[in-house]
Amino acid sequence: MIEIKKNIYWTGIKDWDLRRFHGHELSTHRGSTYNSYLIKDKKTVLVDTVWDPYKEEFAERLEKEVGINSIDMIVINHIEPDHGGSLGYIMSRIPDTPIFCTKNGAEIIKRHFHKDWNFNIVKTGDSVSIGEYELVFVEMPMLHWPDSLLTYVKGANLVLSNDAFGQHYSPSSLFNDEVDECELYQEAIKYYANILSPFTPLIKKKVEQIKALNLPIDMIAPSHGVIWRKDPMQIVEKYYEWAQEYNEGYVVIIYDTMYNATKKMAEAIGEGLAKQGVPYKLFNNSITDQSDILTELFKAKGMIIGSCTVNNTVLRSIAGLLDEIKGHKFKGKFGAAYGSYGWSGEAQNIIHEHLKAAGIKVIAEPIQFKYTPTEEELAKCIEFGENFAKEMNK
Ligand code: FEO
């Protein structure tokens, strides 16, 4: 255990090996951590647990350091199995221990463990004194589950924010002032883009609410990655920025291809963007990590997506990506479609319509060419890129 504030300890797990999360949905190039916290006040309070595969290691440490029987209450800020997975193992030892959680939290715990434990339902503004410290609760619904809760430790000026403000990142240090800031922000924005961006309107309101409380905050301790100790409000301000049609001004050109005709078009479109001074990044979707692609799309101002037509539709990697774009509900992005074909040529319109349905501002009619594009057709792709740049920035 590591003391992060007087009598408050990090008692989590560093999962250096983790490379896929949420099954195989999300890539975690730098591992992750499952941050659980223990408060040794007049009452001994465990806040969140760790992922089920680590339950024995977690419980052994708690037994050695504090004694599981001495835990007086458990706060479950969020019951997704990466944080709540070990709850059943701990509760099998101390089954009468009160669990403080939201109403939704209790319902989900019952669905996961099929137990009716001693639930103490909390709402925003509720508090409980544990001795020197007081725990104050703030509901965080859909940030990112219906049960999500934030616990403020009054007296320690400590925010235990669970998933909010976290990162899938497992460096050697626990604190933001002791890690590579560039890596930290790469992981923080990737986390936001992939996990939180669908809930952006709620996040904006919740961040406004947290800022309006004007609480003294020395430290924000999420349940993944590092603890924000140096200038902790920096990540709250970043979330506010990310929740407001955030972009970094560039365009992402994505393609999938069978014989490189669509790739040639992608490169020519990029040439057109560059001629108008718009930076771009270009990705072959079928060989690029999808979590990284979604991060790039979140950061981009525009997305130009292409596929050849096969079996009257788009290639499968583009079909999957279009669904992801719809699900992530990106705000304020511009888009367009392009493609190549041999005979039927449906891909361009499928992409065009999917982008519109996903709320992307489609600012160009789709462009496509038959088989390998000629020099004249590639010149039209350059022009397409130039026109996209002009329209996006007008
Ligand atoms: Fe880190 Fe929503 O669990």
* pLDDT tens readout for residues 77-112: 999 999 999 999 999 999 999 999 999 999 999 999
Kindly report the protein residue whose alpha carbon is nearest to atom 2 of ligand 1: 80
Strands (E), 41-106: 44-47, 73-75, 99-101
Residue 82 phi/psi, 5° resolution? Answer: -70, -20
CA distance 49 to 113: 14
Catalytic residue check, 24: no
Per the listing, tokens 């109403």 go with 103
Distance 114 CA to ligand 1 centre (A): 20
Q: Give residue 210's pLDDT.
A: 87
* pLDDT tens readout for residues 154-186: 999 999 999 999 999 999 999 999 999 999 999
Distance 214 CA to ligand 1 centre (A): 26
Q: Is the pLDDT of residue 211 over 90?
A: no
Catalytic residue check, 41: no
The one catalytic residue among 15, 82, 187, 377: 82
CATH architecture assigned to 2-242: 4-Layer Sandwich (3.60)
CA distance 296 to 292: 6
CA distance 105 to 111: 10
Per the listing, tokens 């004249």 go with 376
Q: Give residue 357's pLDDT.
A: 98
Domain 251-392 has CATH 3.40.50.360: yes
Distance 143 CA to ligand 1 centre (A): 9
| Nearest-atom index, ligand 1, CA of 145 | 2
Contact indicator for 282, 267 with CB cutoff of 8 Å: yes
Residue 76 phi/psi, 5° resolution? Answer: -110, 100
The one catalytic residue among 48, 163, 187, 256: 163
* pLDDT tens readout for residues 187-207: 999 999 999 999 999 999 999
Element (H, E) at 336: strand 334-341
Catalytic residue check, 80: yes
Kindly report the protein residue whose alpha carbon is nearest to atom 3 of ligand 1: 80
Q: Which residue ranges make up each domain of the chain? A: 2-242, 251-392
Q: Give residue 69's pLDDT.
A: 97
